[in-house]
Amino acid sequence: MKNLITLEMKKELINYLKKHKKTDLVTLYLCYVEKKFETHPILFPKEKTIYQNIDSLTKLLEEKEGLYRETHIHVQFGQPTVNEETQKIYLCPFTGKVFGDNTHPNPQDAIYDWVSTCPENTEKKEGLRVKRFFVSEDPEIIKNYISERKKPLIKVVYSSAITGKLFHSKEAVIEDFKKNHCKPMTLIEVQNQNRFEIEEHFLAFLQSQLTEEKISQFVESLAQIKEFAPYLEKWLG
């Protein structure tokens, strides 16, 4: 009979036995199955369900649109400082920065604050920067400061179906999901719990592996390797 246990697998199982002194036969078999099939069970707490791996979970959620939703946002460019309704403006004489009486809640305070810290304002009086500025109610002057507002950009983004947070790409949503909304488990933890459901395909896989025939084949393979002899004696009495 061909031995099911490769040299690499033998090392993995021996290391597991050394770390877990009270391991029984079925537990070691589950360790073998997990490593052989590269099974990485994952718990999705929201559904209280365990899946075979993160890829099968994300694929399923994507198929039923339970992971993210495509949406659109309008990216606005800043509000204009002067528009057609502006009747008075306050101007910085050093940089030309302008505040309108209808686009800023306190334009006079704003211009005072600006000129007192303006990097181009080098005029000083008694050691302090002067707070000099211009005021105009002339429609023709005001018109010079009106600029056409750029149209907003429409961006495609993705909202998490779990949290509602926005992300720039599907991949970013999936990465956040894997990091913050799933819990890795071992196959042994899956077998020893009864709080959560096991997804049907994963359950079918487990049932196909946990048969008397396959466990017997595993025991026969262990019996061909002398390092496992002491453990088999203990387990099989």
Q: What is the pLDDT of residues 23-57, one digit of tens each?
A: 999 999 999 999 999 999 999 999 999 999 999 99
What are the pLDDT digits (tens) for 104-125?
A: 999 999 999 999 999 898 888 8
Is a pLDDT exceeding 80 seen at residue 175? yes
What pLDDT score does 127 carry? 80
What pLDDT score does 1 carry? 47
What pLDDT score does 65 carry? 86
Is a pLDDT exceeding 50 seen at residue 172? yes
Average pLDDT, the chain: 90
Question: What pLDDT band is residue 76 in, cutting at 50, 70 and 90?
Answer: low
By percentage, how much of the chain surpasses pLDDT 90?
71
- 167-175 long-range contacts (CB < 8 A, ≥24 apart) are 167/68, 170/68, 173/67, 173/68, 174/58, 174/67, 174/68
Question: What pLDDT band is residue 4 in, cutting at 50, 70 and 90?
Answer: confident
Q: What's the mean pLDDT in 193-203?
A: 94
To the nearest 10°, report the CA torsion of 179, 181, 184, 188: 180
Please tell me whether the overall predicted TM-score, pTM, comes out greater than 0.85 for this model: no
**Nearest Cα to Cα of residue 184 among 58, 52, 33:** 52
Q: How far, CA to CA in Å, does 224 sit from each of 18, 153, 159, 229?
A: 19, 69, 55, 9
Q: What's the mean pLDDT in 194-199?
A: 95
Kindly state the DSSP code that residue 196 receives in the 8-state scheme. Answer: S
